[in-house]
Chain A
Amino acid sequence: MTDQNSSLSHLDLETPEKPFLDANELVINMGPQHPATHGVLRVILRLDGEKVLGLECVIGYLHRGVEKIGEHRTYTMFNPYVDRMDYVAAVSNGLGYCETVEKLLNVEAPPRAQHVRVILTELNRIASHQLWLGTHALDIGAITPLFYTFRDREEILKIYEKYCGARLTTHAFRIGGLQYETYAGFEKDVKNFLDFFGPKIDEYEELLTTNRIWVERTKNVGNISAQDCIALGVTGPVLRASGVKWDLRKAQPYANYKNFDFDIPIGQNGDTYDRYLVRMGEMRQSVRIVQQAINALPEGPIMAKVPKVMKPAVGEVYHSIEAPKGELGYFIVSDGSTQPYRVRVRPPSFVNLQALDVMCRGQLVADVIAVIGTLDIVLGEVDR
């Protein structure tokens, strides 16, 4: 499992099980306009009846050249752009970018800013997982959880709206800290949300966790072993559901996560049901983290001393955070000017999506939908 050189040769991804064109084979083009491909993912399925012989993802329908844009904007100007990658977890994207540039500039955000960042990011993790749960359940045919999760996600978006004016692409953080002090009543709002949201997780679980059809549809569907996860570079809840206790918040603590006490939920089988349980557990842990952060919110400045015109010294830096979907990394090369020489993003969705073929081989069409849902991809991030 820890063997970093484990190869994928046993998966035999290059050669399909059968020659590409076979009379018994049905080639179906799922997407880019399809209700369950989460945006504009196009999957070319090769089917034998209902059984999946293999599939191929075609991506790029939402490509906006975010990385290239980064080379033509100053460090500050590029900050809002990263929100548009994983638009359901915009705050996490912002956190990753700001911390990377801070590392490049050798500054550190003050403790109060760090705390607020953690609160907003963990709320964002909850919001992202809620959206995942709703859409995933909808894909599998349970239409009701979607409305419950969206009702509760609204409360998080309201907090964002009050804090920075935006709900989705928040641009909440600045390089060096925060631009806005928290609004009056921020702590009360967050505490109210935590009190309100705790029982709601049980409500979601009541609908699904022991639901016979849900269990049948998700158990032993889209299995992936820890070895394959590591070989493919899969991170986040998908990796943890396969039994690997790897969470960057613990493994390489960033922001001030080391001050908080929380567990990393892991699964064993690496199937869709375990991934569901892991994400449900993560929501509970996020509640715990926010609870600790809001109770110990320090006073003080919210912005570090950052030059008005940022000209980092020549060099490069890679920094990654645990976004709701996995490891979100930024690699920034500075040539000493006001604009980055190169911005490279390591998006979790893009890397996780590569596991789709491995997970779907030999399963049925309905499982492909379940697996796309359980990978929790956002096409804005896959295509960038």
Chain B
Amino acid sequence: MGQIIQYIQSYRHSDLTPGAAGNMFWALVYIMLVFVGLSVAVIAMNWLERKILAHMQVRLGPMRVGPHGLLQPIADAIKLLLKEDIMPAEADGLIFWVAPFVVVLAAFTVFVVVPFGPTHAITDMNIGILFMLGVSSLSVLGIVMAGWASNSHYPLIGALRSSAQMVSYEVAMGLAVVSAILMTSLNAEGTGTLSMIGIVQAQQAQHEWFIFKFFPLGLVAFFIFAVAMVAETNRAPFDLAEAESELTAGFHTEYSGFRWSLFFLAEYSAMIAVSSIAVTLWLGGWLRPFPNLLRNATWDLVFSLFPGITFLFFAAICFYNAARMPKHPLFRIQTVGLAGFGMVLGLIGLILFIPVVSIRVQDIFWFAAKVAGFMYMYIWYRGTFPRYRFDQLMQMGWKVLLPMGLGVLILTASVALLQEKLWHP
């Protein structure tokens, strides 16, 4: 017993991730935390997407289930779980059954290496970024399986489109990633890294987020990645695989109930995963804004207040809307519920003001805030852009993004070499 406690305690002051330190207990705890956090994020994202999109489109969005529709995603989840599970008679049963799990597995496994902070990751692999790109591209396998096993025309076309799209955009994506990795090697030792944590630490050491590095090279690489990642996750305006107006629902046309919700879950966690890659590679991962410019105790304190302030702000919105609720008795439960939700948020906000907590949480906060920015962009694209046609999509992937990626890679390498030879001989 004592040994077990000692084993658990031994990790406490480690400056490694639990996986890298080899501590199975804390690795499991982190896995649970990431899994729960991800599920909550997907639920929140579901509600936020519907709300934000609705407000962009001059409507209210979900308003009935819970105050301002806050419980709508939960109601939907229950509905999906209770729905009849339909499998087409002509479908290939086993593959049809396995496909959603492959997609979900690929989407969730990548979070093993996502660094939420210098030690807040399940593990730190020395091939982290390769692992992420590799595993996340496995999801195309699940999509093809789903399309093929459905034994139906629309899913088949959707799956074909999806696989062609993901494969071609991965090339441009990979080139953009390589140019970011090149930048990690610009230190005294000249040693680059593929580790996700290492990449962020390289940005910290070079006092520069890679998006601003060699301006505008970093920015262009980031742009290529930002376009490719939307295509990679099959989201508007590249949502050809599930183009509603063309293929009804694309590769998941024949899926219903729980299996369908797995595809949904996978799509959103894949969105979060690729956003995490972009944040890690170009936006400084968990680093707070201006880590070098504004570095003294006062600024540290100011920035450590942000997590708490954010939650208090959300709490204030909840209280404001609770006060604005109709005074009719029918709305009492909703008003109380919204105020209660605001109180929970406010409580979390207050806890985050405690220095001990805020020191540990602020890394995660900045990481999440940056990812949330990407999530908002996803919704924004969906609200504004029409859908690309398949051949135009391919044209953009191969004729625009790929040459751009190659150019950026070559230029980055040349500039780095010149810098090494000329300015730091």
A residues whose Cβ falls under 8 Å from a Cβ of B: 26, 28, 34-36, 50, 137-144, 146-148, 151, 207-208, 211, 213-214, 216-217, 364-367, 369
Between-chain CB contacts (< 8 Å), 12 pairs: A36-B244, A50-B157, A50-B391, A140-B387, A141-B245, A142-B386, A144-B56, A213-B386, A217-B389, A365-B247, A366-B240, A366-B389
**Of A147, A217, A365, the contact of B386 (CB 8 Å cutoff):** A217
B383 / chain A contacts, CB cutoff of 8 Å: 143-144
Q: Which residue of A lies closest to B247 (CB)?
A: A365
B285 at the interface (CB under 8 A from A): no
Partner of A213, one of B245, B387, B391: B387
* Interchain nearest-CB distance for A1 vs B (Å): 31
Contact B388–A217 (Cβ < 8 Å): yes
Query: Given that A207-B384, A364-B391, A365-B157 are contacting pairs, would A141 and B59 also be in contact in the complex, using a CB cutoff of 8 Å?
Result: no
Given A138-B245, A141-B239, are A211 and B153 also a contact pair (CB < 8 Å)?
Answer: no
Contact flag A148-B58 (CB < 8 Å), given A141-B245, A213-B237, A365-B157: yes
> Which one, B57, B243, B248, contacts A141 given CB within 8 A?
B243
Size band of the interface chain B makes with A: 20 to 34
B228-261 to A contact mask, C-beta < 8 Å, 1/0: 0000000011011001111110000000000000
By the criterion CB–CB under 8 Å, are A211 and B385 in contact? Answer: yes
Q: Does B101 contact A (CB under 8 A)?
A: no
Docked Cα-Cα span, A314 to B294, in Å, equals 94
Out of A141, A146, A207, which one reaches B387, CB within 8 Å?
A: A141
The answer to whether B384 and A144 have CB atoms under 8 Å apart is yes
The residue that A366 contacts in the complex, of B237, B246, B384, B385, with Cβ under 8 A, is B246
Assuming the contacts A365-B246, A369-B245, asked whether A211 and B390 have C-beta atoms less than 8 A apart, the reply is no
A142 near B389 (CB under 8 angstroms)?
Answer: no
Q: A36-B246, A213-B388 provided; 16 other pairs, C-beta below 8 A?
A: A26-B153, A35-B244, A35-B248, A50-B161, A50-B390, A144-B57, A144-B384, A147-B57, A148-B58, A213-B386, A213-B387, A217-B386, A217-B387, A365-B157, A366-B387, A366-B389
Total of A-B residue pairs, C-beta within 8 Å = 83
Q: Write out the residue numbers on chain A whose beta carbons fall within 8 Å of the beta carbon of B389.
A: 216-217, 364, 366-367
- Contact in complex: A36, B388 (CB < 8 Å): no
**Does B191 count as interface, using CB distance less than 8 angstroms?**
no
Q: How far is the CB of A153 from chain B (nearest CB, A)?
A: 13
Residues of chain B contacted by A144 (CB below 8 angstroms): 56-57, 383-384
Residue of B nearest to A29 (CB): B153
| Beta-carbon nearest neighbor of B153 in chain A | A28
A140–B161 Cα gap in the complex (Å)?
17
Closest Cβ neighbor of B53 among chain A residues = A143
Pick the contact of B58: A34, A139, A151, A216 (CB < 8 A).
Answer: A151
